[in-house]
Amino acid sequence: MIAHLADYLAQSAARWPDRVALVDPAGWSVTYRELDRESSALATHLAAHGVTHGDRVGVVLPKSAAGVAAFFGIMKAGAAYVPVDASAPAERGRRILADCQIRAAVTDEHHREYLPDAGKTLATVVVPGSRPQLFPDAAPQARRTRSLDDLAYILYTSGSTGMPKGVMLTHRNAVSFVDWCSSVFDPDETDRFSSHAPFHFDLSILDLYVAIKHGAAVHLISEEVGKNPKELARFIAANRLTVWYSTPSILTLLQQFGSLEAHDASTLRLVLFAGEVFPVKHLRAVQRAWPNPAYFNLYGPTETNVCTYARIPERVADDRQTPYPIGHVCSHCRSLVLDADNREVATGEEGLLYISGASVFQGYWNRPDLNAAVFHERDGARWYNTGDVVRWVEGEGFIYVGRRDRMVKRRGYRIELGEIERALYLHSGVREVAVIASTDDNGGVTIVACLASHDMRPSIIDLKTFCASHLPAYMSPDRFAFFDRLPRTSTDKVDYQALRQA
């Protein structure tokens, strides 16, 4: 009976002790026995320094086996882990770790500055730079009582005020998602999972815990390789990966610059993508390069992890121009689509998507105001307002329309900026596009299309002519800005804030 994410590791270590659990970016392997032993050693060390049930422990490490061992060790100690982006500015890390009042931290010599000032009195575990032993051996401690409702981890996401907000997720939230993945994707101990997403991004939950539940191997991808499409294509082939999971933008980069035809990826059986809309022309190109795997579009914010999904047809039609739907609600979730007055909308009408169920987070750390704004009580259940606008289409499920916070009003018309992006992606010369808008003191709205092109940059006249034939006049961008590549956040999504400041 699973009562805790750490139970997945214990069960796999008992069943497959000598199977490889992790392959570190440095190239060395960690077996299930080793991962279980070293995470237990860390748990004992933390407990000896006062870390107890409900505490938060920061983890500031590059992508590594040490990080995974730290997560399990922290959870075994009864605490929750708080992963911090080790490539982000140190000040951001300090703010996050101070905000959630960490009791201890696991870091290395290069990232001590990420700890808050109070870190001088914290129990700090410094990870050595190399194998063979990640954490010191320690006398075993009595197993702590575990509950599915214990806090497992806090993932910080960008906040509109400039201060990241901490999404609190319990073992129940994570286990419900992992079990759903098990039922849909049918993983087993022969699988080799990619771990492309950084650990502070919710995509990493599938990468790590689904694989470890089933005794599979997780291949950790460093940030350097993860952003280099040629190296990434070689990595997939050399490690004979069977399950790939990333944002669409990474798959697009792989297809465009990874020379996929030169690398054997025939072992891939699943290609999963999430985090942003996948322009259909890029999805079609990826599928042509990798025709064998099954493709799934997974949707869900950090607050719910994946809550809807859609399997992509075995062949993307040549004439399809619109992105695929986000599909049907997962079996461990329920959905509602409500209008601005909290009334259910009719089939085919647009409304805000609300999600309820075992995977929905507990709330934002120390943000009662924000919690009150995003949760809705209805029929004895608590519903989370995703902020995403959808509509239901029979036979396809939910169609993602956009976000209320990416809608502007110009000349009396409501404009979804994502609709302009989708139209511009139809242009053969456009590789990437992001549309932003600004409002002047008189209420006037300026729409700017930020573009990265293929080899030949389209002219302004060409783009304006194209927009005139694909968009109503009131939606046509006022300006076009060109980039070699659009800026990305640490989770590989378009960085709209950076574009507004450019």
Tens digit of each residue's pLDDT, the chain (502 residues): 677 999 999 999 999 999 999 999 989 999 999 999 999 999 999 998 899 999 999 999 999 999 999 999 999 999 999 999 998 888 889 999 999 999 999 998 889 899 987 656 677 877 765 554 667 666 666 566 778 999 999 999 875 555 789 999 999 999 999 999 999 999 999 999 999 999 999 999 999 999 999 999 999 999 999 989 999 999 999 999 999 999 998 999 999 999 999 999 999 999 999 988 899 999 999 999 999 999 999 999 999 999 999 999 999 999 999 999 999 999 999 999 999 899 999 999 999 999 999 999 999 999 999 999 999 999 899 999 999 999 999 999 999 998 877 878 777 677 889 889 989 999 999 999 999 998 876 667 899 999 999 878 999 999 999 999 888 888 899 999 999 999 998 888 899 989 988 7
**217 and 126: one domain?**
yes
- For residue 385, the domain's CATH number is 2.30.38.10
The span from the CA of 486 to the CA of 169, in Å, is 31
Residue 294 within any structural domain of the chain: no
Closest listed residue to residue 379, CA positions, set 344, 348, 351: 344
Domain termination site, one of 193, 226, 259: 226
Domain termination site, one of 401, 426, 453: 401
**357 and 415: one domain?**
no
Residue 261 within any structural domain of the chain: no
Q: Looking at the 3D structure of the chain, how many domains does it have?
A: 3
**3 and 91: one domain?**
yes
The span from the CA of 145 to the CA of 78, in Å, is 8
Strand 20-23 and strand 217-220: the pairing is parallel
What residues have CB less than 8 Å from 352, skipping those under 6 apart?
337, 338, 339, 340, 385, 386, 387, 388, 389, 390, 404
- For residue 434, the domain's CATH number is 3.30.300.30
Residue 295 within any structural domain of the chain: no
What residues have CB less than 8 Å from 271, skipping those under 6 apart?
244, 251, 286, 290, 293, 294, 295, 296
CB 400 within 8 A of CB 419: no
Strand partners, 385: 354
DSSP labels for 336-397? Answer: EEE-TTS-BPPTT--EEEEEEETTS--EETT-HHHHHHHEEEETTEEEEEEEEEEEEETTTE
Which residue segment(s) compose the domain that 40 sits in? 1-132+142-226
pLDDT at res. 133: 61
Residue 250 within any structural domain of the chain: no
**382 and 435: one domain?**
no
Residue 293 within any structural domain of the chain: no
pLDDT at res. 92: 86
**492 and 348: one domain?**
no
**113 and 198: one domain?**
yes
Amino acid present at 115: L
**384 and 495: one domain?**
no
CB 279 within 8 A of CB 305: no
**120 and 63: one domain?**
yes
Residue 242 within any structural domain of the chain: no
User: Whole-prediction pTM value?
Assistant: 0.88
Domain termination site, one of 181, 196, 226: 226
Q: DSSP 3-state assignment of 328?
A: strand
**85 and 196: one domain?**
yes
**109 and 146: one domain?**
yes
How many other C-beta atoms lie within 10 A of the C-beta of residue 225? 17
- For residue 108, the domain's CATH number is 3.40.50.12780
pLDDT at res. 197: 94
pLDDT at res. 132: 47
**391 and 432: one domain?**
no
Residue 421 within any structural domain of the chain: yes
Residue 9 within any structural domain of the chain: yes
Question: What 3 state SS string does 239-251 have?
Answer: CCCCEEEECHHHH
First-residue to last-residue Cα distance in the chain: 52
**351 and 380: one domain?**
yes
Residue with token string 């409900």: 54
